[in-house]
């Protein structure tokens, strides 16, 4: 089941695992797939620790790192405006009041003064201040063989620096014209991500999007399929649509290695596909996530409009520093895709990889039997 991209990267199975958790990344990489560490959550010092740890735990095997460097955000270009305290000051009082009233009404206590200042991480925050050093850090780790950008084409310096080191650059795309633009800029691998995916997503389903992107750019670069893929049947379907592999996110949330609060795991296990809603409430851009009291509140007609990235993310992170302290089940949100409604158990990440491979073989064999038995 190796594809040309597997050969290029030196991996056994065309299964790419996006996760913020290094243990998941290492487990998938060691099982023969390709783990990709979501670096959004890590300031540079912490990222250095994570990459050193990964190097120590995957031997010679390659892995990737994913950044969220949006094409459009408040504070783009860096400078004074982009300082976190200045961005936080741009959040209107009315929005802060809306959040305070929402949390008060739900009985979520204020953060006590001695709880310290919360660390605020949000997509689109510190992109210019931290991005270049983070990229250099990745390139100083030879196991890092692919750098991926989540929100639009990566900045030109990422392409230049990665290519100078022989490292592939990937980018997520939710529409064929986005993929075209990315490939024209020099992106080496396109992740065609359908609307059912967890996290930021467009409006076109994986089934429709993957062949559109394969038709648009598949003769120039490999395309990976993302969104709604967690078993061998979906993997076989993705490959039939022309993808050279699958890129999954939600399925790793329900693995033993995932670092997720227990109340979120409960929520993920209980969720149906309809509970994975597309909302701007977490980051300011549409992202699929578990329905919670937070997403519901921002969907009400009297709610203020969500703010642009990263202001909405800052507001969310401030609120989360209040409700995660008390492990609120009502507010315990998380990015998650529609596939979450098909996942009902927590498995080791290695088992997930092997189940997908075995399911893929069964599906391909079953298809041959099905069509071979026809008249």
Ligand X SMILES: Cc1cc2nc3c(=O)[nH]c(=O)nc-3n(C[C@H](O)[C@H](O)[C@H](O)COP(=O)(O)O)c2cc1C
* Stretch in the footprint of ligand X (CB under 6 A) among 26-34, 191-199, 208-216, 235-243: 191-199
Among 247, 298, 323, 331, binds ligand X (CB under 6 A): 247
Interaction with ligand X in 151-180: which residues (CB under 6 A)? 172
If one asks whether residue 35 binds ligand X (CB under 6 A), the answer comes out as: no
Interaction with ligand X in 335-374: which residues (CB under 6 A)? 335-337, 339
Pairing of strands 144-149, 189-193: unpaired
* Stretch in the footprint of ligand X (CB under 6 A) among 87-95, 158-166, 246-254, 324-332: 246-254
Q: Are 246 and 238 in contact (CB under 8 A)?
A: yes
* Stretch in the footprint of ligand X (CB under 6 A) among 158-166, 235-243, 248-256, 323-331: 248-256
Among 228, 245, 286, 308, binds ligand X (CB under 6 A): 228
Beta bridge partners of 171: 149, 190
Q: Which is nearer to ligand X, 17 or 319 (CB)?
A: 17
Q: Which is nearer to ligand X, 226 or 315 (CB)?
A: 226
Q: Which is nearer to ligand X, 42 or 323 (CB)?
A: 42
Q: Which is nearer to ligand X, 155 or 228 (CB)?
A: 228
CB of 25 to ligand X, least distance (A): 12
Quickly count: other Cβ atoms within 10 Å of residue 177's Cβ: 11
d(CA 252, CA 244): 20
Q: By CB under 6 A, how many residues form the interface with ligand X?
A: 27
d(CA 138, CA 145): 9
The SS3 call for residue 272 is coil
97-117 exposure pattern, b = at least 16 Cβ within 10 A, e = fewer: ebbeebbeeeebeeeeeeeee
Interaction with ligand X in 265-294: which residues (CB under 6 A)? none
If one asks whether residue 192 binds ligand X (CB under 6 A), the answer comes out as: no
If one asks whether residue 38 binds ligand X (CB under 6 A), the answer comes out as: yes
Residue 92 is classified by DSSP as -
Ordered alpha helix ranges (H), the chain: 4-9, 22-30, 44-58, 84-89, 93-105, 127-139, 156-164, 176-185, 206-217, 232-240, 262-270, 293-299, 311-323, 349-372
Residues that bind ligand X (CB under 6 A): 18, 38, 40, 66, 68, 148, 150, 172, 193, 196-199, 226-229, 247-251, 334-337, 339
């Amino acid at each position: 089941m190796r594809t040309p991209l597997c050969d290029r990267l030196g991996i056994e199975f065309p299964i790419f695992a996006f996760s913020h958790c290094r243990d998941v990344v290492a487990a998938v990489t060691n099982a023969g797939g390709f783990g990709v560490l979501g670096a959004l959550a890590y300031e540079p010092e912490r990222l250095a620790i994570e990459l050193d740890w990964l190097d120590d735990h995957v031997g010679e095997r390659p892995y990737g790192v994913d950044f969220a460097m949006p094409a459009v955000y408040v504070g783009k270009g860096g400078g004074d405006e982009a300082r976190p305290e200045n961005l936080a000051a741009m959040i209107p009082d009315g929005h802060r009041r809306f959040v305070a009233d929402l949390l008060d009404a739900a009985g979520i206590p204020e953060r006590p003064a001695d709880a310290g200042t919360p660390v605020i991480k949000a997509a689109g925050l510190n992109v210019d201040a931290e991005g270049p050093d983070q990229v250099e850090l990745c390139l100083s780790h030879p196991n890092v063989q692919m750098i991926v950008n989540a929100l639009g084409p990566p900045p030109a310096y990422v392409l230049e620096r990665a290519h100078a080191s022989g490292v592939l650059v990937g980018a997520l795309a939710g529409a064929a014209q986005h993929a075209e633009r990315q490939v024209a800029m020099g992106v080496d691998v396109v992740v065609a991500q359908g609307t059912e995916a967890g996290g930021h997503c467009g409006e076109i389903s994986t089934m429709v999007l993957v062949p559109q992107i394969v038709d648009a750019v598949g003769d120039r670069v490999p395309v990976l399929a993302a969104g709604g893929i967690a078993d061998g049947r979906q993997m076989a379907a993705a490959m039939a649509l022309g993808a050279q592999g699958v890129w999954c996110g939600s399925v790793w949330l329900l693995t033993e290695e995932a670092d997720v609060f227990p109340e979120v795991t409960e929520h993920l296990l209980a969720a149906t596909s309809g509970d994975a809603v597309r909302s701007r409430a977490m980051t300011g851009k549409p992202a699929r996530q578990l329905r919670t009291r937070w997403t519901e509140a921002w969907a009400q007609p009297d709610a203020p409009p969500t703010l642009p990235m990263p202001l909405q993310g800052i507001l969310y992170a401030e609120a989360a520093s209040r409700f995660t302290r008390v492990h609120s089940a009502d507010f315990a949100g998380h990015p998650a895709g529609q596939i979450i409604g098909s996942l009902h158990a927590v498995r080791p990440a290695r088992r997930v990889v092997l189940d997908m491979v075995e399911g893929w073989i069964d599906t391909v064999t079953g298809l041959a039997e099905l069509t071979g038995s026809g008249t």
